Amino acid sequence: MFLYQSAWLQTKGARSYQEDAALICKTAASDAASASPALLAVLADGMGGHTGGAIASRTICEGFVKTYAADSGAMPERLLTALAASNEAVAEQVTAQPSLYGMGATLVGASFGEQGLEWVSVGDSPLFLYRRGEISLLNADHSMAPALDRMAAEGKLSVEQARSDPRRHMLRSAVTGEEIELVDTSEQPLLLHAGDYVILASDGIHVLETSEIARVVAAYGNDGCEALAAALIRAIEQQRDPHQDNATVIVIRPIESADSN
């Protein structure tokens, strides 16, 4: 049996405002027979300008957590219900204040329990798994980046053209209060191991290569979640990108409880 340690941290980057939001909370396990509480982490990267983006990301995170906590169903339906409620909450905000039309956010929500990790995501906020020195992306990227990379692999674009294309960060799906075009979910629970780290992030982390993220986890992972979150944000800021987007990281690791020994 695992307990879950967690921490989150963010930076404004080169911007004067923050459009990211994140929440971590313990909730009742979806299995009523389970004595182990589940941990829920949700991160949203807002869009729609200084005011709209911040409102959207906060609305989405709060709506997601509230609905998830009130549900007792099984995954992934519980996560999908929370996503739908978040989307509806954005629609209600826009109806009440039409000047906010066009606001929205990406979302990645992850539930941790005895069965392991399950998630739902919309947009390009990545969900990473670090295990034994290697890091992998768990969720789908709903930006134009994968399509451009496929074009490069097929010889239709050069690698440099694909990486510098201004469409690269355009979203193909987001939570805007309207129909959500693309949703990614875990097909089954992912069992976690002692020593693993799970990282939820906004796309501001993309200034770091995945190999650099893995290096930072290897260097600071033994120091705990707070130290690792701080090290990741520091690594982002040290890139000194003049166009650095807001960046938020949530780091979670499973710890074997005394009851499992």
Q: Which pTM was predicted?
A: 0.92
Predicted pLDDT at 33: 41
Q: In terms of residues, how long is the chain?
A: 261
Q: What percent of the chain has pLDDT over 70?
A: 95
Please say whether the beta carbons of 147 and 167 come within 8 A.
Answer: no
Average pLDDT over residues 221-239: 98
Tell me the β-bridge partners of 4.
254
Q: pLDDT tens digits for 38-79?
A: 899 999 999 987 789 999 999 999 999 999 999 888 888 999
7 pLDDT tier (thresholds 50, 70, 90): very high
Please say whether the beta carbons of 185 and 80 come within 8 A.
Answer: yes
Q: What percent of the chain has pLDDT over 90?
A: 77
Predicted pLDDT at 84: 98
Q: What CATH number was assigned to the domain covering residues 2-140+174-260?
A: 3.60.40.10
Among 137, 167, 116, smallest CA distance to 2 is for 116
More confident residue, 157 or 140: 140
* Pairing of β 2-11 and β 20-27: unpaired
Q: Which tokens belong to 136?
A: 């992998």
CB-neighbour burial class of residue 236 (10 A; exposed 0-12, middle 13-18, buried 19+): buried
Predicted pLDDT at 259: 61
Residue with tokens 């971590």: 24
Angle, alpha carbons 36-38-78 (nearest 5°): 125
Q: At what angle do helices 225-237 and 210-220 cross, to 10 degrees?
A: 140
Distance of CA 160 to the CA centre of its chain: 27
For the chain, how big is the Rg over CA atoms in Å? 18
Q: pLDDT tens digits for 177-216?
A: 999 999 999 999 999 999 999 999 999 999 999 999 999 9
Average pLDDT, the chain: 92
28 pLDDT tier (thresholds 50, 70, 90): low
Residue type, 183: V
Domain spans of the chain, in order of start: 2-140+174-260
Residue with tokens 């009851």: 259
